[in-house]
Chains A and B, each alone.
Chain A
């Protein structure tokens, strides 16, 4: 149901490295899961609206007032690599 190209495409979109073997396992597993899910594609849902939120809230707006900020040291504390006060980025090809 899902072909190897789709697996590769989706893995690229998601930025996930999958070995050849993982790709094949993934293809089988996703196909299996989608088979179980497929039945919803045959439901007549044309007149049914979507539910994106179950809470009926609107206009939750914050005040434009500054809050406490992190120091640069704190901001960078957990970063695996830093340079020049910034978060270091791998070479951009």
Chain B
């Protein structure tokens, strides 16, 4: 059976060619056969029941019963949710995340939970405390991270689309490495209620899909203000599924810092080719500088760990999760957390605690927050000149499993192109723009806050023109 996109699936169900039940069954079959290790848990029984209900309903919901996979960082009632961590092994949440509730109401069927770096901390999914996820393009390479499972499952055609979360690039970078579309909305666009927090001021939920149109469709069903998330925004205009073909008059700024050293030549040439394609479609191309973006990594690796150190303090083995044997309270805390968290999580908690500790706060955390202001200003100035910004998504294509695990900072550099947008809360999308040495390259487009529709339009036009139709080797 050919793997349909979400849009095609909805059309096929609506026209009676197939049913939700059939598509969910097929998705479950493909997901059970999971040589890539994309899934941590499947929810077959409930998914089949939901599909039946949708098929039997008098009126078909907009998403028609299309299957979807969810990053294990989102809370799903009664379905094990671990955020990739041993400290949450066996944990069955008491509630469902707002974005998933919205998707289910719109007729999406959750088939399972995807693998990820523990608490979304990582860029390769190697920090999952459960399993590796392999890149469907080359099973010796990583799928990127932290939403590696959500990217791999879409690339491997197990499900047409999935949800991920992006704190510093965790949707866009794996999308780039797996040759799929990944989108991080404007901060506040999607409710974070039910998203297990990593860095609260940066975290956003977003779609991973095979097409830009599917990404827009998925996003359109999860945006909007949620009374349970005080930082969520009232989304006054609907997200539209794009059909643009030309880019006449669109001003695109190529971020000069992101074509400098550290960017692989294959990535650079694919990015340049995509830029040329944009020009052919009528876009005006200029070069734009974001001078403070080179401090992005530094600011990010102070702010995100600082917030994480507080967000992860609740994992204490008293109300839920794993609990270590101990003789007294202090030992209980230290053992439970020392044994429950993996090395990268501990590293970031340490870094964040350090950055906030008395005597260091001003030098580190407060400075990082000021640098953040400079980065926000840089983007503001850039968007006075151009409509959107273009850059690679990741400085490299998928790297070998194990290649960066012993060098935390090398791993952190994986997000050098995606972090500034996160710090500024801006929407950004990664689309596949070519292949380098057999591995996909992602192109990142960034817009001003709330420019989702414009971003999707440009991404769609470019996607059509680039016509990226390569299939992962493991599937062909």
Which A residues fall within an 8 A CB radius of B?
A: 2, 6-7, 9-18, 22, 26, 29-30, 32-33, 36-37, 39-41, 43, 45, 48-55, 57, 60, 62, 70, 74, 77-81, 87-93
Q: Quick check: B230 and A14 within 8 Å, CB to CB?
A: no
Contact B368 A78 (CB under 8 A): no
In the bound complex, residues from chain B placing their C-beta under 8 Å from that of A40 are 295, 298-299, 302, 367-368, 371
Taking CB as reference atom, which chain A residue is nearest B344?
A29
- Asked whether any CB of chain A lies closer than 8 Å to the CB of B373, the reply is yes
- Return chain A residues, CB-CB under 8 Å to B299: 40
Which of the residues A11, A13, A48, A78 comes within 8 Å of B370, measured between beta carbons?
Answer: A48
Given A50-B366, A54-B425, A11-B323 contact (CB < 8 Å): no
Q: Are B349 and A14 in contact (CB under 8 A)?
A: yes
B130 interfacial by beta-carbon distance below 8 Å: no
Chain B stretch 259-310: residues in CB contact (< 8 A) with chain A = 295, 297-299, 301-302, 309
Residue numbers of B with Cβ under 8 A of A are 91-92, 94, 187-188, 201, 227, 230-231, 233, 295, 297-299, 301-302, 309, 313, 316-323, 326-335, 337-339, 341, 346-347, 349-351, 353-354, 357, 363-364, 366-374, 376, 408-409, 412, 423-425, 449
A76 vs B229: C-alpha distance when bound (angstroms): 25
How far apart are the CA atoms of A36 and B331 in the complex, in Å? 33
CB of A92 within 8 A of CB of B328, answer yes
Assess the B318–A79 pair: CB atoms within 8 A: yes
Complex contact B338–A18 (CB within 8 A)? yes
Residues of B within 8 A of A70 (CB): 94
Given contacts A29-B408, A51-B369, A53-B201, contact A37 B298 (CB under 8 A): yes
Q: For the complex, give the distance between the alpha carbons of A50 and B368 in Å.
A: 8
* Complex CA–CA separation, A88 to B319 (angstroms): 9
Is B187 within 8 A of A33, CB to CB?
no
Q: How far is the CA of A80 from the CA of B374 in the complex (A)?
A: 46
- Residue from A14, A57, A81 within 8 A of B233 (CB atoms): A57
